[in-house]
Structure 1
């Protein structure tokens, strides 16, 4: 009998929006900075940006900065002498109309000055370029170091805030352009020196030429500033899409996801997302480029007309006898230099201004760590002997409900506190709050009665040892992976003792060079470890730390039964002088705990000893225990070989 086809589900009455991977930063400054990019603000900020450039250079290599400034000043002086001497070269010839030995003698000295000035300025230009090339990578590295330092001084909760990541990307862009900062500054200094020299020469010819030249430079200057504004805003607009491209690229090529890309045949899908995002970036960039080109075209046309007015004025001055024909040659060279210098100052000034806006993003991040700089007290903990959560509430950004709500727990030195519950119950979040990685929104976490908000963060972390669910596999030696670059006074003896406690001694014995073996096969040609071997290393590093609070979050998830038994058999020994917080789904392991806290959707629903919770037939702990240990009544029996072969004789073989 034919079974009726199920009816297709009815379409929803209202179309739900399709959520895509996107980033919306709080406090987006694009409109603010876009309106701030004006000619006046550019003129006001250029000296500040040049000072910032030279300050960064001074931090990394002050001698090179002094040499660079000296080259700029001397080059300007030489150019002024060269321009003024040009009149002395031309005048003897123009005066007599003949080129005799007397005229040659009269022109010899100024000609020597001109040639010497040109040669020395060329040498100084080479020296300036070399100094700038020497300083630029150092400045970029210093900017990056400051950025990395700021990032490590942000609260861990910052990474749960999308706005923090956007600010990091903007600041990282500032690091990228910082190497251009000094080069642009150098070009502006050179153009300014040349401009001052030309102004001096033109003043000697006729003072009216100066305001005319400045007026001629205004149209092009305005156009350059507008173009810089459009370029910067386009860059900020596409920052989120560029970040998405980076993430997609990582997922496509990283070893951690490579097997799933292939087994899930996801490559074409992700590449299509990458292509679509890239096209969106191209669209925004093309629009900005077209608008910039139109503005530059208008500015260039207006500047050309203004230059024609300047040259017409110069012709009129010669015709009226206000300047001599000999001075005309000097004026011609000076006007050319002025035009080139003004173009350089305006052009490189616009670039420097745009670079400065990226550096503002960098400086803002340095000052506030993306708005999440650690701002806690200065008390140095001596314990903790007792760690307590007092009616705490914590909610992640954009979450629908608190991860923890009204939770109170306590663990003391010498005790093992186990946190159990279903996925999303708040176990890991609570462990991070107890170890001061997070601060509660309401209520308080106290160490020996002191609110963790008043404790120095780094001092607190130095007294904590954490084995997280997703532990780091550092591209370092086995020794450094256990000591974390913080050796114990007992040296390798302490490292090996921690390894034995975690069962990692068996791993080290199999390594090519023991503790000296590099554990980064794909990067350094070192040796690869399995997931379980890495987990033993991660546990060993926690046992190695001189910590008073030990937090183990699913510490044996990747271990075989023998290795797991070894860890829990020795856990009581490690709890003798530490407070231990154990997070696990394997309820048989929590029998070692002194007290167990059962969480459900952010609330504590049970607490007590293993025996007490197991005896409570109506409690969540007993329900979870039964699901783990009494599965015969819940899981269908396997199909017999005869039944399995009937539908498809070749089902498996």
Structure 2
């Protein structure tokens, strides 16, 4: 009962917050519908009394006519109320789902990036996304069912008590078996959903591969449709087998509960027959009692089913609440004073980082300095830690150990949101938003909506203005063919749009991860030639595998297996004849068709 009370309170708060006026209206409808049921029982008794007093040729007395019209009117009113209740509850349910889903999205976008390195987090995210859209509606329906069931039970029960006081307690006793089995069913359903979440994610991923535009070309090029479809079918068949076992267990419990309830109902009817035989209940009262018992049995079952739904939804919503608590924890973890507008120097001191679930360190004691206005390059082989270091500099990760300092102050003392506001970062796997060109650029700092002048300036600085203005609707063209009227861009054009997004942010520190990977050699050369001009004195950190691109950087840091092994200008590093020089010559030899060393 204590758990039920907590769940009812939680559910009421949820529904009340989503739409109090509609909720109150539904409560009124539920109460009226319950009173109509009680009224029908009373009118049935009047109807039967009038019928039983009729003699041959007596005609239709006024009492019988009124009872008939009253019964018809109440039945019509019950149908109308049921229709109103259905429409209202559907809208309220959607409103509740929206409110819950908003909270889930806020938590998902608020948690630290490290959570997205965990498969368990993705399992929970998918589970709560489904629960947020379906379970609140279940709560709404169940809560209203409880209100209606209680009201109808009181109304019809009062009529039944008036016929004979022993009938109501007997009938209510029939709900006990269902209470016991329903709670067990709810726990089975939650456990089944938790167990199935990883398999559902795999099916969803396979469906994504088979149906999305970007993957379609490779799926066809390698003829992967059949094997991927076979794997999807295999997973679905396993799910259906598990579902069949689960439903058999639920059916067994449901059968046991309903059989127990049926036994009690049979006993109640036998008691009624005995009361009729003893003359304690008249024939008219007996007829009304049969109607009342049938109605009350339905209301008691509605009440119990609604209670079961609350229990079941409560398990899922508790899971949702725990997920949303992650957002609160993340906000607390990333709280702090506002970061300064600018800096003179960023220092990375003995920074170490390990990804969640991994034992190997991605960064192992990294040290480097970035002075205001410098262009700094990070180079190294794949897996050397360049992108991880960029994420830490951007405030997306906190170091596992060591510190990143702005003018001597640890950035963990600042609000991470304010740190990220001072940084513009474009990764190699940047997002291609299926929105307008204007929005794709303005997403660099979108809090106040697009600023047309800034959009045009950022596009010009990145070299994207020419092809964007040539689109059918210019900057208002949707950059995707998945929506009507949309247009797609080439890889190099998309990269210029992404760079424009970084310029639009107008941050003191710009981090560009492989900013020219999709550009042709001429466009790449032009970008790097103009890099200092377009940066306008801002500090830049860029990552590149093309060593010809980093020659003009003020400082080049060479990373290897999570450590900085060399640093200096291009000339200094070549004179040192270390790892940088080796990699530079290897790459140059590939272009010049010459040996790496003379």
TM-score range, shorter chain: over 0.9
Equivalent pair of 1:76/1:197 in contact (CA under 8 Å): yes
- The structure-2 alpha-carbon separation of the partners of 1:221 and 1:103, relative to structure 1 and needing over 3 Å to count, comes to farther
Equivalent residue number for residue 153 of structure 1 = 110
The reply to whether residue 312 of structure 1 matches residue 270 of structure 2 is: yes
Equivalent residue number for residue 494 of structure 2 = 534
- The structure-2 alpha-carbon separation of the partners of 1:612 and 1:338, relative to structure 1 and needing over 3 Å to count, comes to same
Q: Secondary structure at the match of 1:474?
A: coil
In 2, the alpha carbon distance for the partners of 1:326 and 1:632 equals 103
In 1, the alpha carbon distance for the partners of 2:405 and 2:164 equals 79
Equivalent residue number for residue 42 of structure 2 = 84
Q: Secondary structure at the match of 1:520?
A: coil
Deviation at 1:466, TM superposition (A): 0.8
Deviation at 1:200, TM superposition (A): 0.9
Equivalent residue number for residue 495 of structure 1 = 455
The reply to whether residue 446 of structure 1 matches residue 405 of structure 2 is: yes
Q: Secondary structure at the match of 1:125?
A: helix
In 2, the alpha carbon distance for the partners of 1:575 and 1:514 equals 25
Equivalent residue number for residue 97 of structure 2 = 140
Deviation at 1:340, TM superposition (A): 0.8
In 1, the alpha carbon distance for the partners of 2:468 and 2:50 equals 89
Deviation at 1:207, TM superposition (A): 2.0
The alignment's TM-score, normalised by the length of structure 1, stands at 0.85
Equivalent pair of 2:141/2:306 in contact (CA under 8 Å): no
In 1, the alpha carbon distance for the partners of 2:63 and 2:215 equals 80
In 2, the alpha carbon distance for the partners of 1:489 and 1:48 equals 42
In 2, the alpha carbon distance for the partners of 1:183 and 1:174 equals 15
Equivalent pair of 2:100/2:133 in contact (CA under 8 Å): no
In 1, the alpha carbon distance for the partners of 2:16 and 2:438 equals 38
In 2, the alpha carbon distance for the partners of 1:543 and 1:455 equals 24
1:163 to 112, 117, 120: 120
Equivalent pair of 1:92/1:106 in contact (CA under 8 Å): yes
The reply to whether residue 458 of structure 1 matches residue 420 of structure 2 is: no
The reply to whether residue 511 of structure 1 matches residue 471 of structure 2 is: yes
Equivalent pair of 1:168/1:370 in contact (CA under 8 Å): no
In 1, the alpha carbon distance for the partners of 2:59 and 2:227 equals 84
Equivalent residue runs for 1:85-484 within 5 Å? 85-91=43-49, 93-94=51-52, 96=53, 98=55, 104-106=61-63, 114-177=71-134, 178-369=136-327, 375-385=333-343, 386-484=345-443
In 2, the alpha carbon distance for the partners of 1:599 and 1:309 equals 82
- The structure-2 alpha-carbon separation of the partners of 1:286 and 1:369, relative to structure 1 and needing over 3 Å to count, comes to farther
In 1, the alpha carbon distance for the partners of 2:45 and 2:450 equals 81
In 2, the alpha carbon distance for the partners of 1:381 and 1:501 equals 27
In 2, the alpha carbon distance for the partners of 1:488 and 1:82 equals 60
In 2, the alpha carbon distance for the partners of 1:525 and 1:103 equals 72
In 2, the alpha carbon distance for the partners of 1:382 and 1:292 equals 60
- The structure-2 alpha-carbon separation of the partners of 1:373 and 1:262, relative to structure 1 and needing over 3 Å to count, comes to farther
Q: Structure 1 residues 220-229 or 430-439, which shifts more?
A: 220-229
Equivalent pair of 2:354/2:361 in contact (CA under 8 Å): yes
Deviation at 1:311, TM superposition (A): 0.9
Cα distance per residue 1:220-245 (max 9 Å; x no partner)? 33333333332332222111101110
- The structure-2 alpha-carbon separation of the partners of 1:123 and 1:422, relative to structure 1 and needing over 3 Å to count, comes to same
In 2, the alpha carbon distance for the partners of 1:239 and 1:622 equals 50
Deviation at 1:110, TM superposition (A): 5.7
In 1, the alpha carbon distance for the partners of 2:50 and 2:500 equals 89
Equivalent pair of 1:378/1:455 in contact (CA under 8 Å): yes
Cα distance per residue 1:483-507 (max 9 Å; x no partner)? 1173889943322222222111232
2:555 to 595, 598, 609: 595
Cα distance per residue 1:252-293 (max 9 Å; x no partner)? 222222222122222222222212211221121111112222
In 1, the alpha carbon distance for the partners of 2:297 and 2:447 equals 63
RMSD of the alignment, in Å?
2.7
In 2, the alpha carbon distance for the partners of 1:606 and 1:125 equals 76
The alignment's TM-score, normalised by the length of structure 2, stands at 0.92
Deviation at 1:44, TM superposition (A): 4.6
In 2, the alpha carbon distance for the partners of 1:447 and 1:384 equals 9
Equivalent pair of 2:334/2:417 in contact (CA under 8 Å): no
Equivalent pair of 1:415/1:580 in contact (CA under 8 Å): yes
Q: Structure 1 residues 119-128 or 466-475, which shifts more?
A: 119-128
Equivalent pair of 1:554/1:584 in contact (CA under 8 Å): yes
- The structure-2 alpha-carbon separation of the partners of 1:632 and 1:247, relative to structure 1 and needing over 3 Å to count, comes to closer
Q: Structure 1 residues 424-433 or 378-387, which shifts more?
A: 378-387
- The structure-2 alpha-carbon separation of the partners of 1:130 and 1:99, relative to structure 1 and needing over 3 Å to count, comes to farther
Deviation at 1:356, TM superposition (A): 2.8
Deviation at 1:554, TM superposition (A): 0.4
Q: Secondary structure at the match of 1:238?
A: helix
In 1, the alpha carbon distance for the partners of 2:458 and 2:196 equals 49
In 2, the alpha carbon distance for the partners of 1:138 and 1:372 equals 27
Q: Secondary structure at the match of 2:186?
A: helix
Q: Structure 1 residues 278-287 or 72-81, which shifts more?
A: 72-81
Q: Secondary structure at the match of 1:630?
A: helix
In 1, the alpha carbon distance for the partners of 2:479 and 2:100 equals 30
Cα distance per residue 1:37-82 (max 9 Å; x no partner)? xxxxxx5545554554444443343322111111112222333344
Equivalent residue runs for 1:47-58 within 5 Å? 48-58=6-16
Equivalent pair of 2:112/2:397 in contact (CA under 8 Å): yes
Equivalent residue number for residue 522 of structure 1 = 482
- The structure-2 alpha-carbon separation of the partners of 1:628 and 1:108, relative to structure 1 and needing over 3 Å to count, comes to same
In 1, the alpha carbon distance for the partners of 2:412 and 2:296 equals 60
Q: Structure 1 residues 569-578 or 400-409, which shifts more?
A: 569-578
- The structure-2 alpha-carbon separation of the partners of 1:71 and 1:632, relative to structure 1 and needing over 3 Å to count, comes to closer
In 2, the alpha carbon distance for the partners of 1:524 and 1:379 equals 45
Structure 1 gaps of 5+ residues are 1-42, 637-653
Deviation at 1:108, TM superposition (A): 5.9
In 2, the alpha carbon distance for the partners of 1:223 and 1:161 equals 36
Equivalent pair of 1:404/1:603 in contact (CA under 8 Å): yes
Deviation at 1:380, TM superposition (A): 1.0
Q: Secondary structure at the match of 2:279?
A: coil
In 2, the alpha carbon distance for the partners of 1:517 and 1:106 equals 74
